Amino acid sequence: MKLRNILTSVVFSTVIFLFAAAHILLPDREISVTERRPLDQLPKFTMQSVMNGSYGDKLEEYLLDQFPLREKLRNLKALWQFEVYGQSDNNGIYLVDDQVLKLDSILKEDEVNALISNTNKVYESYLQGMGLVSIAKLLNAQSRTSRYGRPWGKSSIMRVLRNSTYTGNLLLQKTYSENHLTKRTRQNNGELPQYHITDSHEPIISLQQFNAVQEEIKRRADKHTHPGMKQKTYPFTGMVVCGGCGKHYRRKVTKTGSVWICSTFNTMGKAYCPSKQIPESILVSITEEVLGSTDALYDKITAIRAEKDNTLVFCFEDGSETVKRWQDRSRTESWTEEMKEAARQKALERSKTNG
Ligand SMILES: [Zn+2]
């Protein structure tokens, strides 16, 4: 016990001595970047200020601000508060299994309020009869931004309208970084607190409101199709983004079946965007492989990026990505019977003229 006391005193004396030495040797700093404020500077020594005591006060503030390693000590204080007082959240820093973890997005009340307000506005406007483009224009005019501060568009409005998570538990704080050095992002599977909107709020959108919107989406889609024609919905509309030029892919019916094709490539040609079309059947099967079904498209992912070399990148809500490669169908496999017959005839003709 005695040895421990001596050791403690020696360590502390050393630390205090080093701090004092560092304070004298290091130049004073003017601002603290992490606190975003100017630091107190050495006060002017005047007889008056010493007499009325203000010099002492100022000197104390100066020494506190210019104390070496104060940034490090601020971090230590955060850990200390966590350890000793069991404080669960100190600026988003958490200690789990001796690891210091930091939440990537610390829940900010104004952000949650904006999310609730925007979502309500989108649902209300749509049920009042407004179109997707008008709603997007309205929100942009009110300086409301979509995710990551981006302006609203047709597809982001549709995504909100189709997102059923607003009717239930909305899970925030889905990722955290492992530590400050690696900055590796990890899924928050409950190691750190997760914030359910419903813990303190009503669901953003009531189930009735959500169902009414789904009915309305269907009604509007039906209105645009001719009676008697089978209603076709394209779950990939606005979802597939060209990795080459950034435009959306659109559906195109070809002799060999439906394909999804970059709109730049489709209208301007290969010189403007050398992207490749994807057969719809392949797009569907890969999506089912990644998500289970195409129904989950709007709930789980923000975009499918079509990259070079038959690569599809599924971008999830939480920022993670899943990369998939697809195989070209062999030519004969994608040919219809008529096409095979036409090829046979052509081959026959060719052999006749040659022979
Ligand atoms: Zn393109």
pLDDT tens readout for residues 132-180: 989 998 998 988 888 767 888 888 899 889 877 677 655 555 556 555 5
| Residue 187 scores a pLDDT above 60 | yes
* CA angle 259–292–104, rounded 5-degree value: 105
The set of residues, in sequence order, having a beta carbon less than 8 Å from that of 45 and lying 6+ positions away, is 55
For residue 303, the CA-to-ligand 1 centroid distance in Å is 15
State the Cα–Cα distance between residues 159 and 171, nearest whole angstrom: 17
For residue 263, the CA-to-ligand 1 centroid distance in Å is 7
For residue 305, the CA-to-ligand 1 centroid distance in Å is 11
Cα radius of gyration (the chain): 31
For residue 224, the CA-to-ligand 1 centroid distance in Å is 28
For residue 259, the CA-to-ligand 1 centroid distance in Å is 14
Please write the tens of the pLDDT for every residue from 46-103. Answer: 666 666 666 666 666 666 665 555 545 555 554 444 444 444 444 555 555 555 566 5
For residue 141, the CA-to-ligand 1 centroid distance in Å is 29
- Between 200 and 116, the higher pLDDT residue: 116
* Cα distance between the two ends of the chain: 108
- Band of pLDDT at residue 279, cut at 50, 70 and 90: very high
Cβ atoms of 41 and 59 within 8 Å: the answer is no
- Between 212 and 339, the higher pLDDT residue: 212
Structural domains of the chain ordered from first start: 2-68 (no CATH), 109-223 (3.90.1750), 240-334 (no CATH)
For residue 262, the CA-to-ligand 1 centroid distance in Å is 5
- The pair of structure tokens assigned to 266 is 């489709």
- Between 54 and 304, the higher pLDDT residue: 304
State the Cα–Cα distance between residues 165 and 301, nearest whole angstrom: 13
